[in-house]
Amino acid sequence: IFAAVEMAPRDPILGLNEAFQADTRAEKVNLGVGVYYDDNGKIPLLAAVRAAEEARLQAAPPRGYQPIEGAQMYNKAVQGLLFGPQSALVEAGRAVTFEALGGTGALKVGADFLFRIDPKAQVLISNPSWENHRALFEAAGFDVGTYPYYDAQTRGVDFPAMLDGLRAADAGTIVVLHACCHNPTGADLDATQWAQVVEVIRERGLVAFIDMAYQGFADGIEPDAVALRLFAESGLEFFVASSFSKSFSLYGERVGALTIVTENKETSARVLSQVKRVVRTNYSNPPTHGGAIVAAVLTDAGLRKQWEDELAGMRDRIRLMRSALVEKIAAAGANQDFSFVVRQRGMFSFTGLSVDQVERLKQEFGIYAVSSGRICLAALNSGNIDYVANAIAQVVKG
Ligand code: LMR
């Protein structure tokens, strides 16, 4: 059966974990995958999560099957985060939400559904984008292209080129957008630019699929939803994949959501019925635990406040690491200015390091980064930052 099966390459991001685990050097540092570690190098179990878990353990609820779309309480709570507490769109029944297996699971269910509607549609992702975007939409059957996004000269968004790229797309093209904390570049649009993107999407009849994996990691829960709020006000139909992996530090629980906004309640009901079939023939219905914890935290005023404070703590520590890294790379005598790192948003820095420099970091220093030059700043801490800064300074010196 397997004679013709070839060895597949390692995943460009998760494959780094495998290589990192196999590395026996004590000083090794994993700056690959987007995971937040605390200053002791540990993935935190948030206090709000722990409190909700303890309450759930006490209540000891039965573990029956969930509805195919997941728990209503969770899905409502997701909509509140995406669209705000009093959303006209939600009130009108225009949004349907599915509890999904992380942001990736949400993208996959959405992609499979879209492929059933229009298999000939082209998908456009930003250049560059999260490595899995292309793989995922191609796996769903789509042809995937790119729209211009990052400008390596300014280390920001080439916004005129982005708009031109979107204007050139055929009607019905699916455009994957990063709501905030663009992965991998950390370069985001501002509200004025988002408003222009919304207009082009409308004019050209494009389908926005917004990926929001890092809500709360740029400026906060509300400000990071600016793109979604503008899409919500526009009256357009669109897709959102959201995730609690990072914001709740619940990576392995696979807690995310697919939200589809339609023109009215009647359309929502039809869409709901079809997406349920996609889910049923894939994983049947979502697991209980992670979503129940998130819903419990989001619907309890005290726990929610505690969570928002903990999220702010993560955000602030990453900022601290940004400025410290810039200073320490300069102090280590690098012949290159890294001050742009403090302007990038979210967990990552798109360092501009070449594939060869990334390889040197790995070979000579046991420091793992994505080959695009992306490093995860949330994996830096007071114990490893000097080592990393020195190593970066060494490899840029050549
Ligand atoms: C990342 O980009 O590192 C994260 O989103 C984790 C993943 O699944 O790739």
Same domain, 24 and 98: no
The neighbouring-strand residues paired with 145 are 124
Residue with tokens 């298999």: 119
Which tens digits make up the pLDDT trace of 16-62?
A: 999 999 999 999 999 999 999 999 999 999 999 999 999 999 999 99
Distance (Å, rounded) from C-alpha 115 to C-alpha 105? 15
Q: Is the peptide bond before 128 cis (omega within 30 degrees of 0)?
A: yes
* 254, 287, 320 - which closes a domain: 287
- Give the Å distances, CA to CA, from 321 to 95, 216, 318, 326, 383: 38, 17, 5, 9, 12
- Given ligand 1 and candidates 35, 132, 374, which is best to mutate, with the most ligand atoms within 8 Å of its CB? 132
For the segment 259-280, the average pLDDT, to the nearest whole number, is: 98
- Given ligand 1 and candidates 20, 33, 181, 212, which is best to mutate, with the most ligand atoms within 8 Å of its CB? 33
Q: Would you call 164 helix, strand, or coil by DSSP? A: helix
Statement: residue 107 has pLDDT above 90: yes
Domain count, the chain: 2
The neighbouring-strand residues paired with 101 are 255
The answer to whether 359 and 385 are in contact (CB under 8 A) is no
For the segment 334-357, the average pLDDT, to the nearest whole number, is: 95
Distance (Å, rounded) from C-alpha 160 to C-alpha 316? 32
Same domain, 311 and 234: no
Q: What is the pLDDT of residue 200?
A: 98
* 234, 252, 287 - which closes a domain: 287
CA of 85 from ligand 1 middle (Å) equals: 29
- Residue 276 within any structural domain of the chain: yes
CA of 250 from ligand 1 middle (Å) equals: 13
CA of 156 from ligand 1 middle (Å) equals: 21
Same domain, 238 and 265: yes
Same domain, 211 and 283: yes
Q: What is the pLDDT of residue 71?
A: 98
- Residue 27 within any structural domain of the chain: yes
For the segment 175-192, the average pLDDT, to the nearest whole number, is: 98
Q: Would you call 282 helix, strand, or coil by DSSP? A: coil
Distance (Å, rounded) from C-alpha 336 to C-alpha 314? 28
> What atom of ligand 1 comes closest to residue 104's alpha carbon?
8
**Beta carbons within 8 Å of 175's beta carbon, 6+ residues apart:** 123, 124, 147, 166, 169, 201, 206, 207, 208, 209
For the segment 368-377, the average pLDDT, to the nearest whole number, is: 96
Same domain, 243 and 118: yes
- Residue 147 within any structural domain of the chain: yes
Same domain, 215 and 308: no
Q: What is the pLDDT of residue 398?
A: 79
**Beta carbons within 8 Å of 263's beta carbon, 6+ residues apart:** 94, 235, 237
Phi, psi of 293 (to 5 degrees): -65, -45
> What atom of ligand 1 comes closest to residue 183's alpha carbon?
2
- Residue 255 within any structural domain of the chain: yes
Catalogue the long-range contacts made by 80-85 (C-beta closer than 8 Å, 24 or more residues apart): 80/298, 81/215, 81/221, 81/225, 81/242, 81/298, 82/212, 82/225, 82/228, 82/240, 82/242, 82/259, 83/225, 83/228, 83/229, 83/232, 84/222, 84/225, 84/229
For the segment 363-374, the average pLDDT, to the nearest whole number, is: 96
List, chain by chain if needed, residues with CB within 6 Å of any ligand 1 atom: 13, 33-34, 104, 130, 132, 183, 213
Which of these, 221, 169, 163, lies nearest to 189 by C-alpha position?
163
- Residue 165 within any structural domain of the chain: yes
The answer to whether 135 and 175 are in contact (CB under 8 A) is no
Q: What is the CATH number of the domain that holds 213?
A: 3.40.640.10
Active-site annotation, residues: 130, 211, 246
Q: Atom 2 (ligand 1): residue with closest C-alpha?
A: 34
Q: What DSSP state is assigned to residue 229?
A: H
Same domain, 190 and 274: yes
Which tens digits make up the pLDDT trace of 130-139?
A: 999 999 999 9
- Residue 249 within any structural domain of the chain: yes
Q: Atom 4 (ligand 1): residue with closest C-alpha?
A: 34
CA of 225 from ligand 1 middle (Å) equals: 20
Which tens digits make up the pLDDT trace of 204-244?
A: 999 999 999 999 999 999 999 999 999 999 999 999 999 99
Q: Atom 5 (ligand 1): residue with closest C-alpha?
A: 34
ipTM: 0.94
- Residue 58 within any structural domain of the chain: no
Domain range for 317 is 14-45+303-397
CA of 134 from ligand 1 middle (Å) equals: 13
Tokens of 103: 């942001």
